[in-house]
């Protein structure tokens, strides 16, 4: 049974039983505590916890998920994959334990010919929470399972909670017995390789108190009991398809086979090769799905995870013996395997391919650079007589250059060296500990979202700002320091929840409105406007005067000038995007934006800098759209209808079933957008494109000033040009040539000055030599020569003095003030070095006195620091360190 067929049967089964079919949410999670959607229930958490009222009593979905915590285990086991799909059915205060068990057993054991999944009852085992007698009774009643096939397990495996105060409850899991060839008898409690978990049913029925681990109290039963169940689609697929693991199912195996073909190695022949092929198959699919949801490779956040997946793929192919680019062969295989379930991967493949192929090319160059660094480290290690490459070197290669540790180990071994893996692992542990601490801190900061639950239960905040800049409403709630309060007084910083608001909450790249909230006896300055939970707007305010209380009448007032500037900037962003696509083609997709009054920036997928001519063309097209006074139309319609009209969606953004479409000039610029916009394009005024820069290997960023800010910037430039024409007595059109001539003249003058300074320094050589002294058998020159222009000048002077001293043993140490910083250069000749005088060691001694660092070769070395006043002491330290 194909994976897509299992998916279809699941959705049909629950749809027929009154469940709303909810499309998969993006892999980019709405939950601010999560980087990705890591479980099928994540999109439903606000409904399950009661934070947001559920729009349906029961639902079902097949949710895309990404988990990378166990990335090192990928390919080694039957059940570790970074991308997976979770089939779920959910009840929000509707049916509970008995019906959930009934549905699960019915779908699993109904014959394939009758629309079920066709599992044999004899192959299924069940686990329940150790104290859940009700579940045991129901399993016996519904499934007629004998006692020995129902195993009671503890809280660690069969109890669910968020880890904080809130909903909790027992779980029941269904396992498939793969047979004696895969392990010992005894059920899931005895062997989790033989018995594969395929379905988990969470019975959310209790309210738990504070505490950690098992140390918490059950405060009572929930007034609304919920069901959250999940069936692993890939696990069921590999069982139904009769293959050994999830890497061999129809949606994954084609990439594995292509990796085998490219490498010339046979899958199933060598375990290490098999693991690498599985890693390739898993990671290519995961990367494909992440990029289809708008994630792009970068050095932080989600982009870093994607980059890591792509680079681990390159690493695995290299270990399979393939050092050339392979993504153009691998990614089309994954696209074709996944497109029946997710058509977007085919529709967006040109963009995905451009990102993936560029990332592979970049990393192949990185590997070449890392190899050079590793080669130097290996040579240095061997020269020192050591047999082990330092752990910090391996960590530097991994952390800074993205050089995989496995590759470092392999190449070091080829050179006859081991790697200090313990030191490397210690550094990695420190890094992970810091990352976990940071993640925990972020989670803690957002752990009190339940404070909004009561306000959200009243209903959604009505946004009136599209039509009105002022709206009368009432205060539904006040929050100070994360706690709901009844009143806030002058000077307090608080969050205000209103029933209606005209103030735009930050979203879609548009900064929140500036403004105020006023009422009888109070005046609140609005500092920020956000949506902490779906459907609820919170205003962060400072009470300027008076006292505000829950229930008070209040009026939200938008700063009209701010809003005007914000609408100009947001509409300008749409024009620039349309101009980009007209100039560069449909592949120039927007990858993020930010706009506020007077300014906009737009990131887009492109892997090379724009020429000055292209930048000018984009700017001209956008400003022509302003001059043409195009109509700006906004419409609200179903998402499918908007897509059918060709409305552009920002990758990574979340859209509901009903969306707002903004047209500027009809289909020329047609985008899904909830932001505020001008009524006609001429109201934007002016767009002044001020920069175009790189923000990654495959992303560029355009920044523009808009409206009056654009005019002021151009006026400033005009004033500067006017001043230059007056000062240089040159017409504006001839300024570039005139300035070029002046630059050439300046360079020629600087060259002559440098020559004069060098000649003046060389004339000091005899006097410096005359000041030499004898230390033991050495002729020593130890002088502060004052101020010199550059360290190169000082080095030339030192070398000239050493040459004039001849072949007698000599040490030359000259110090100077170079640009306000002390520098010392030490030179020795052959005879001096034979007597133990080493320039590098002497320069380090002087640098330590100067408050800096230094070193070099035995014949010539340099040191520096921060304290010019310490030069005499540094020279004395050199003298004291000379061999006698």
Region label for 633, one of left (φ > 0), alpha (ψ between -120 and 50) or beta (otherwise)? beta
- Cβ 779 vs Cβ 744: under 8 Å: no
Q: How far apart are CA 606 and CA 593, in angstroms?
A: 15
Count CA atoms closer than 13 A to 202's CA, side-chain side. 26
What tokens were used for 695?
């923000």
Which residues have C-beta within 8 Å of that of residue 728, sequence separation ≥ 6?
735, 738, 739, 742
- Cβ 757 vs Cβ 793: under 8 Å: yes
Phi/psi for 466 (5° steps) reads -65, -30
Query: What DSSP assignment string belongs to 469-531?
Result: SEEEEEEEEEEETTEEESEEETT-EEEEEESEE-SPPSBTTBPPPPEEEEETTEEEEEEEEEE
DSSP annotation of 123 reads G
Helix residue spans in 729-838 (DSSP H): 735-762, 765-770, 791-804, 830-834
Closest CA to 861 of 803, 804, 794: 794
Binding residue per annotation — 673? yes
- Cβ 675 vs Cβ 696: under 8 Å: no
Strand partners, 548: 488
Closest CA to 34 of 63, 3, 74: 63
- Cβ 690 vs Cβ 679: under 8 Å: no
- What is the total residue count of the chain? 884
- Cβ 469 vs Cβ 563: under 8 Å: yes
Binding residue per annotation — 574? yes
Count Cβ atoms below 10 Å from residue 323 Cβ, excluding itself. 12
Find tokens 């391996």 and name the residue. Answer: 394
Q: How far apart are CA 311 and CA 9, in angstroms?
A: 36
Give the SS3 label for residue 266.
coil
∠ CA 257-261-262 to the nearest 5 degrees? 120
Binding residue per annotation — 80? no
Q: How far apart are CA 832 and CA 865, in angstroms?
A: 26
Phi/psi for 519 (5° steps) reads -165, -175
- Please report, for the chain, how many H helices and E strands are present, in that order: 26, 34
Count Cβ atoms below 10 Å from residue 111 Cβ, excluding itself. 10
Closest CA to 285 of 239, 240, 341: 341
Closest CA to 684 of 733, 634, 629: 629
* Known binding residues for Zn(2+): 570, 574, 673, 677
* Known binding residues: 570, 574, 673, 677
């Amino acid at each position: 049974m194909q994976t897509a067929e299992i998916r279809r049967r699941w959705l049909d089964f629950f749809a027929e039983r009154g469940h709303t079919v909810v499309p998969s949410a993006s892999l980019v999670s709405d939950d601010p505590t999560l980087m990705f959607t890591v479980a099928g229930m994540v999109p439903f958490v606000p409904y399950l916890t009661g934070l947001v009222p559920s729009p349906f009593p029961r639902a079902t979905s097949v949710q895309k998920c990404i988990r990378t915590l166990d990335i090192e285990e990928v390919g080694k086991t039957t059940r570790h994959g970074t991308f997976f799909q979770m089939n779920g059915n959910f009840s929000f205060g509707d049916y509970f334990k008995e019906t959930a068990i009934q549905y699960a057993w019915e779908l699993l054991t109904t014959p394939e010919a009758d629309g079920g999944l066709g599992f044999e009852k004899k192959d299924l085992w069940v686990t329940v929470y150790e104290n859940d007698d009700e579940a045991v009774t129901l399993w016996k009643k519904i499934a007629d399972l004998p006692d020995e096939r129902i195993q009671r397990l503890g809280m660690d495996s069969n109890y669910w909670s968020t880890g904080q105060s809130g909903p909790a409850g027992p779980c029941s899991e269904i396992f498939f017995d793969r047979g004696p060839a895969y392990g010992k008898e005894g059920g899931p409690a005895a062997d989790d390789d033989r018995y594969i978990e395929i379905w988990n049913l969470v019975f959310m029925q209790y309210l738990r108190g504070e505490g950690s681990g098992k140390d918490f109290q059950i405060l009572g039963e929930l007034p609304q009991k919920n069901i959250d169940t999940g069936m692993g689609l890939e696990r069921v697929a590999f069982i139904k398809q009769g293959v050994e693991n999830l890497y061999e199912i129809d949606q994954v195996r084609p990439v594995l086979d292509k990796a085998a073909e490219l490498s010339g190695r046979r899958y199933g022949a060598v375990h290490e090769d098999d693991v690498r092929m599985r890693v390739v198959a898993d990671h290519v699919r995961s990367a494909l799905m992440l990029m289809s949801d708008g994630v792009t490779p970068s050095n932080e956040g989600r982009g870093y995870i994607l980059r890591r997946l792509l680079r681990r793929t390159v690493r695995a192919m290299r270990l399979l013996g393939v050092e050339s680019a392979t993504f153009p062969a691998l990614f089309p295989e994954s696209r074709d395997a996944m497109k029946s379930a997710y058509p977007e991967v085919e529709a967006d493949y040109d963009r995905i391919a451009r990102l993936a192929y560029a990332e592979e090319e970049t990393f192949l160059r990185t590997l070449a650079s890392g190899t050079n660094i590793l080669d130097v480290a290996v040579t240095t290690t061997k020269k020192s007589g050591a047999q082990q490459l330092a752990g910090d070197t391996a960590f530097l290669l991994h952390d800074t250059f993205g050089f995989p540790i496995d590759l470092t180990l392999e190449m070091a071994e080829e050179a006859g060296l081991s790697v200090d893996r313990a030191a490397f692992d210690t550094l990695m542990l420190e890094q992970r500990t810091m990352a976990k601490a940071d993640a925990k801190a972020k989670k803690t900061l957002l752990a009190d979202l339940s404070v909004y639950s009561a306000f959200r239960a009243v209903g959604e905040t009505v946004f009136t700002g599209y039509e009105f800049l002022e709206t009368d409403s009432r205060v539904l709630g006040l929050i100070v320091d994360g706690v709901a309060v009844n009143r806030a007084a002058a000077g307090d910083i608080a969050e205000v929840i209103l029933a209606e608001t005209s103030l735009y909450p930050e979203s879609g790249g548009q900064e929140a409105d500036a403004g105020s909230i006023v009422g009888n006896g109070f005046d609140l300055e609005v500092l920020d406007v956000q949506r902490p939970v779906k459907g609820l707007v919170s205003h962060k305010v400072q009470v300027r005067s008076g006292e505000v209380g829950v229930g008070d009448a209040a009026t939200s007032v938008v700063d009209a000038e701010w809003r005007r500037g914000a609408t100009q900037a947001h509409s300008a962003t749409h024009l620039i995007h349309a101009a980009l696509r007209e100039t560069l083609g449909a592949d120039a997709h927007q990858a993020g934006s930010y706009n506020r009054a007077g300014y906009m920036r737009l990131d887009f997928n492109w892997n090379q800098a724009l020429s000055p001519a292209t930048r000018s063309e984009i700017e001209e097209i956008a400003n022509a759209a302003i001059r043409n006074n195009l109509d700006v139309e906004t419409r609200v319609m179903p998402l499918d209808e908007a897509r059918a009209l060709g409305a552009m969606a920002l990758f990574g953004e979340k859209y509901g079933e009903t969306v707002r479409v903004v047209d500027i000039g009809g289909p020329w610029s047609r985008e899904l957008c909830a932001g505020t916009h001008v009524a006609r394009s001429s109201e934007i005024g002016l767009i002044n494109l001020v920069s175009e820069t790189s923000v990654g290997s495959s992303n560029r960023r355009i920044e523009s000033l808009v409206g009056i800010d654009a005019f002021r910037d151009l006026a400033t430039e005009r004033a500067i040009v006017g001043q230059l024409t007056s000062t240089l007595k040159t017409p504006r059109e001839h300024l570039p040539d005139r300035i070029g001539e002046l630059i050439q003249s300046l360079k020629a003058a600087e060259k002559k000055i440098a020559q004069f300074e060098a000649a003046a320094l060389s004339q000091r050589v005899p006097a410096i030599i005359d000041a030499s002294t004898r230390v033991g058998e050495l002729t020593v020159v130890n002088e502060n020569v004052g101020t010199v222009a550059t360290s190169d000048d000082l080095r030339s002077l030192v070398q000239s003095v050493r040459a004039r001293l001849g072949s007698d043993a000599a040490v030359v140490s000259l110090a100077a003030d170079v640009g306000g910083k002390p520098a010392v250069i030490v030179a020795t000749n052959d005879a001096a070095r034979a007597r133990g005088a080493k320039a590098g060691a002497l320069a380090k001694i002087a640098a330590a006195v100067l408050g800096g660092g230094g070193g070099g070769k035995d014949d010539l070395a340099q040191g520096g620091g921060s304290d010019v006043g310490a030069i005499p002491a540094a020279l004395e330290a050199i003298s004291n360190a000379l061999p006698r």
